[in-house]
Amino acid sequence: MTVPFDLSRLLTPEGNLIGREELQEIMAEQGYSAGGRDQFLKAVLTELGQVDALRNGSEREAEILEEVRDILRNEQARMNGSSGSETHD
- Of 59, 84, 50, the closest CA to residue 42 belongs to 50
3-state secondary structure of 37: helix
d(CA 76, CA 61): 22
Q: What percent of the chain has pLDDT over 70?
A: 73
d(CA 74, CA 4): 23
pLDDT digits (tens, 9 = 90+) for 4-44: 556 677 777 887 777 778 877 877 877 777 777 778 778 77
Q: How many CB atoms lie within 10 A of CB 73?
A: 11
**pTM (predicted TM-score):** 0.44
- Of 26, 25, 19, 22, the closest CA to residue 63 belongs to 19
